[in-house]
Amino acid sequence: MTVTTHEANVLGEDPFDTANLLDPYPFLGRLRDAGAVSYLESTGSYAVAGYQEVYEVLTDFETYISSGGLGPRDIRKDSGWRPPSILESDPPIHTVMRRALTGVINPGTVRALREPFTPPAVELTEQLARRERFDAITDLAEKYPLRVFPDAVGIPDVGREHLLPYGNMVFNAFGPENYIFKQAFAQGDEHAAAVMRNCQRENLDDTGFGAQIWERVKDGLITEQQATLLVRALLSAGVDTTIFGIGNMLSVLARYPEAWAKLRKNPKMSKFAVDEALRLESPFQKFHRTVAVDTVLGGVHLPAGAKVLVFLGAANRDPRKWGDNADEFDLDRNASGHVAFGMGLHQCVGQPIARLEMEIVLQQLLQRVAAIEPDGAPVPILHNVLRGFESLPVRITAA
Amino acid sequence: MTASAGATIDAVVDQVDIVADQVVSLVLRRVDGQPFQPWQAGAHIDVHVGDGLVRQYSLCSSPEELDRLRIGVLHVPDSRGGSKAVHALLAGTPLTISGPRNNFPLRESRRYLFIAGGIGITPLIPMLEAAEAAGKEWTLIYGGRSRKTMAFARQLEDRYGADRVHIMAEDEVGRLDLDQILGMPRAHMLVYACGPGGLLGAVEERCMGWPPGALHTERFVASTLGAAAANAPFEVELARTGTTVTVPNDKTILEAVEEVGVRVLSSCRGGLCGTCETQIISGEPEHRDAVLTEEDREAGEIMLVCVSRAAAGCPRLVLDL
Ligand code: HEM
Ligand code: FES
């Protein structure tokens, strides 16, 4: 069988230039329109932005592997800045690590978190509801996950200040080594060492996810090093993402007052609002895969060793999948199938925790806030792969 | 066991073959000489074995041949009636059966891994044929105590070749090495496993590192060794919405509920992420996900509606939807 292939459309525009990072969607529209697979001159990688191709790359984990790293460099050739995590592994190494994590983070263990996760949200939203205006990022989205998540993992209080800078390093390293990357790595060693210390068994409390992961070492499922890496994975993947998830959700809802009113009448719809917000403003916008063997995608030949930049955030707004109003928030839309948490083998382990945090914050706000609207322009954050805001001033009417 | 709903068919045993130690295969024809209704790989029939007992048996003939149906039956000494009664049948015996119904359909994929434990081979036989006809890449791992207890092992090996049909008799190579077989998840490969609960539990545990939705199982209940009835259609009452939907055997609860316009949050749709967790108000679920804890399974208060169904003998679930 011969497959006719054509050359990838070559794109001169840089997805990592400042303007495209701060306001990604116009560029993502152009990228989707350019064809199924494009070649990015700026990074020397291929790019997919349509739902169908993104889905294919995410689910065909044998052809598009993770052990080359999620950044633009192939860490198999050129070892990365840290020992590879679950995110940067393929079967069979991935398989045992994933089994160990799924045994610890699952619907049952996450359900038990609703109780400890609620009071801090009540407290934060009570305080905010007394004010006429606040910053939904610095006053809420950044505060809440840090109040609940590190406790759920069971790390000590000392060293928590390193979590955000460390997450910033981890995720920015999925992009090129530009000035944003360099800034994130400014005190890199210190942050990395502090976080690694908190992954050791003796520094974890006895009940959190961290200790439970270490239990799997006793079973012989994983090694001590793998346990350390898995706790590190939770700490690096579980904080920034949820902060941005909460912030992005509020940025959307502040723009859709009718949706807010509808949710106030029917708070049970909160989880659908969370889902639709994740689709529309996906916190984790893009990462790379590495082509393991020569292949053809969307009619384009991809050579082994090539890097493919996968635009989750663009797939989640592909009109071919979501219709003409793909760029709009629609509370009645069935957003299932969005790839904000990835898809397939590496699909986010922390998904239920992230959804829980987002839902609790939303429900508590809905109880106390009758209306919420933007109070000046939000300030998007300059980040290589995450989408979020540094500041999101809002004005509210208390309920 | 459950009584089967729906029309019965008067059939006659046309042929009885001993296909392995304690295993007979019965070829059934319709008394009226008509062809059976079309069916697809994975289907089973109900067999009325007398004394009001009904057993399910998977079909292991070819869906191409509608003039006959073949089932394989293991004789279990302690089974109450079922297989013993069927074992006593001779050619020419009349038998009341149901038409073929499919609770274990073969879903579209690029490749397949089939895992059979003992008599669990039966529903997989038409699946191999279907996968082969569609030009798919597939492998069969067939485990059993010894070759002489393993029905159809020789025929399958002869027909498809030992590179794809792996007969793993315990007395030759030991028990199935599931770490070896499932240790390496494959992309776009579905796993179809059928056999006793112990085997399937072990398969499920290994598949936790596979993509969501990769694993499809059919549990052969040890006491009957027919197919469990849990894939049968059942009703779901949506307590909050105030409607009732029927979930046919080829649809999930999630799909059936979505079809009537009721929203359920979902993500992986394969029983792995927990997003579709739904409260059960009454009724007994059969959990088919890979993530709920044992406590949750036993408590029976929640279920993952993208994969789990009503338990055998539970015709109606009431859910908080
Ligand atoms: C809204 C918040 C979140 C978003 C948008 C998100 C997004 C993602 C995405 C897209 C992936 C797949 C990466 C890939 O395919 O290579 C992923 C994987 C992962 N996430 Fe999340 N995540 C979130 C929250 C969390 C939380 C709270 C945790 C920790 C409990 C977490 C832990 C992980 C881990 C460990 C993986 C790797 C799984 C694997 O490789 O098998 N995430 N996440
Ligand atoms: S949708 Fe993931 S478990 Fe049901």
Q: Which of B81, B102, B123 delimits the end of a domain?
A: B102
Q: How far apart are CA B313 and CA A344, in angstroms?
A: 34
Please tell me what DSSP assigns to residue A267. Answer: G
Question: Does ligand 2 have an atom closer than 6 angstroms to the CB of B223?
Answer: no
**B126 occurs within a structural domain:** yes
Same structural domain for residues B243 and B216? no
- Chain A: residue whose CA lies nearest to B211: A345
Q: How confident is the model at residue B117 (pLDDT cuts 50, 70, 90)?
A: very high
What per-residue string of b and e applies to B283-321 under the rule 16 or more CB within 10 Å gives b?
A: bebbbbbbbbeeebbeeeebbbbbbbbbbbebeebbbeb
Smallest Cα–Cα separation from B20: which of B103, B121, B97, B99? B121
Please state at what angle helix A163-172 crosses helix A143-153, rounded to 10 degrees.
90
Residues of chain A whose beta carbon is less than 8 angstroms from a beta carbon of chain B are 59-63, 91-92, 94-96, 98-99, 102-103, 106-111, 271-272, 275, 334, 336, 341, 343-345, 347, 351-352, 355
What domains, with CATH codes, occur in chain A? Answer: 9-398 (1.10.630.10)
- Are residues B11 and B87 located together in one domain of the fold? yes
B261 touches chain A (CB under 8 A): no
Q: What is the pLDDT of residue B269?
A: 83
> Which of B210, B266, B291 is facing A107, going by the closest CB pair?
B291
In terms of Cα–Cα distance, which of B103, B163, B164 is closest to B129?
A: B164
Residue B276 Cβ inside 6 Å of ligand 2? The answer reads yes
Domain limit, last residue, from B68, B102, B136: B102
* Chain A residues in contact with B258 (beta carbon < 8 A): 334
- As a whole number of angstroms, the distance between CA A90 and CA A74 comes to 14
Match 């050129």 to its residue by tokens. Answer: A78
Q: Does residue B4 carry a pLDDT above 50? A: no
For residue A55, pLDDT beyond 80: yes
| B191 and B246 assigned to the same domain | no
Residue B229 within a domain:
no
Distance B58 CA to ligand 1 centre (A): 41
- Give the C-alpha distances (Å, rounded to integers) separating A204 from A127, A146, A156, A214: 31, 16, 7, 10
Asked if B176 and B243 sit in the same domain, the reply is no
Round to whole Å and give the CA distance between B122 and B104.
12
Give residue B146's pLDDT: 95
Cα–Cα distance, A342 to A312 (Å, whole number)? 7
Nearest to B319 by CA among B299, B292, B296, B300: B300
Concatenating the DSSP letter of every residue in A188-219 gives HHHHHHHHHHTTSGGGS-SSSHHHHHHHHHHT
* CATH code for the domain in which residue B276 is found: 3.10.20.30
Contacts for A170 with CB less than 8 Å, ≥ 6 apart: A236, A237
Give B227's DSSP letter: B
Chain B residues inside the 8 Å CB shell of A91: 183-185, 209
Domain encompassing residue B22: 3-102
Query: Of A255, A307, A315, nearest to A284 (Cα)?
Result: A315
Highest-confidence segment of A67-81, A192-206, B208-222, B305-319? A192-206
Q: Is A106's CB within 8 Å of B266's CB?
A: no
CATH code, B139: 3.40.50.80
Cα A327 from chain centroid (whole Å): 19
Residues of A whose CB is below 8 A from B291:
102, 106-107
Q: Establish if B84 belongs to a structural domain.
A: yes
Return the H-helix or E-strand segment holding A300: strand A300-302
pLDDT at res. B201: 85
Q: How far is the alpha carbon of B169 from chain A, nearest alpha carbon, in Å?
A: 26
Lowest mean pLDDT segment, chosen from B62-66, B76-80, B128-132, B303-307: B76-80
Q: Which of B267, B280, B297 to mutate to test the interface with A (most CBs of A within 10 A)?
A: B267
Q: Which pLDDT belongs to residue B77?
A: 63
Sign of the four-CA dihedral A88, A90, A96, A98: positive
Pairing state between β B215-219 and B189-195: parallel
B208 and B149 share a domain?
yes
Per-window interface: B 212-231 vs A, CB < 8 A: 212
Contact B109, B192 (CB under 8 A): no
- Give B267's contacts in chain A (Cβ within 8 Å): 336, 341, 347, 351
pLDDT in tens, B18-74: 999 989 999 999 999 999 999 999 998 988 877 777 788 899 999 999 999 999 988
Residues B138 and B220 in one domain: yes
pLDDT tens figures, A126-185: 999 999 999 999 999 999 999 999 999 999 999 999 999 999 999 999 999 999 999 999
Is B277 contained in some domain? yes
pLDDT recorded at residue B208: 81
H-only helix segments in chain A: 18-22, 24-33, 51-59, 93-104, 107-111, 114-129, 143-153, 163-172, 179-184, 188-197, 209-218, 224-237, 240-255, 257-265, 270-280, 312-315, 319-322, 351-368
> What is the spatial distance between Cα A310 and Cα A36, in angstroms, rounded to a whole number?
12
How buried is B183 (Cβ within 10 angstroms: 0-12 exposed, 13-18 middle, 19+ buried)?
A: middle
- From B210, B215, B265, B272, the mutation candidate for ligand 2 (largest count of ligand atoms within 8 A of CB) is B272
- For chain A, the average pLDDT equals 94
Inter-axis angle of helices A163-172 and A224-237, to 10 degrees? Answer: 90
> Strands A379-380, A389-391: parallel, antiparallel or unpaired by DSSP?
antiparallel
How far apart CA B97 and CA B30 sit, in angstroms, is 10
Helix (H, G, I), strand (E, B) or coil at B106: coil
Instruction: Look at B267 and A351 and tell me if their CB atoms are within 8 Å.
Output: yes
Report how many Cβ contacts below 8 Å link chain A to chain B: 91
The amino acid sitting at A252 is V
Residues B217 and B244 in one domain: no
pLDDT > 70 fraction of chain B, expressed in percent and rounded: 91
Number of domains chain B contains: 3
Q: Are residues B143 and B241 in the same domain?
A: no
With cut-offs at 50, 70 and 90, classify the pLDDT of residue B227: very low
The CB of A64 under 6 Å from ligand 1? The reply is no
Above 0.85 for ipTM, yes or no? no
With beta carbons under 8 A apart, name residues in chain A contacting B185: 61, 91-92, 94-95, 345
Subunit contact B186:A62, Cβ cutoff 8 A: yes
Q: Is residue B147 part of a domain?
A: yes
C-beta of B304 in contact with ligand 2 (< 6 A) = yes
> Are B121 and B167 members of one domain?
yes
The verdict on a CB contact (< 8 Å) between B263 and A351 is no
Residue with structure tokens 């050619």? B91
Give residue B204's pLDDT.
84
Q: Do A106 and B274 touch (CB under 8 A)?
A: yes
Collapsing DSSP to helix, strand or coil, B179 comes out as helix
* Overall average pLDDT of the A290-305 stretch: 96
User: Is residue B267, in this structure, part of any structural domain at all?
Assistant: yes
- Residue A350 Cα to ligand 1 middle (Å): 6
- Three-state DSSP class for residue B25: strand
Tokens of A277: 């917000």
- B76 and B148 assigned to the same domain: no
Flag whether pLDDT at B212 surpasses 90. no
Residues B85 and B116 grouped into a single domain: no
Domain boundary among B190, B224, B258: B224
Domain containing residue B91: CATH number:
2.40.30.10
Residues B301 and B241 in one domain: yes
Give φ, ψ of B32 to 5 degrees.
Answer: -80, 5
> Quick one: pLDDT at residue B82?
60
| CB-based contact, B306 to chain A, within 8 Å | no
Least confident segment among A19-28, A70-79, A342-351: A70-79
B296 contacts chain A (CB < 8 A):
yes
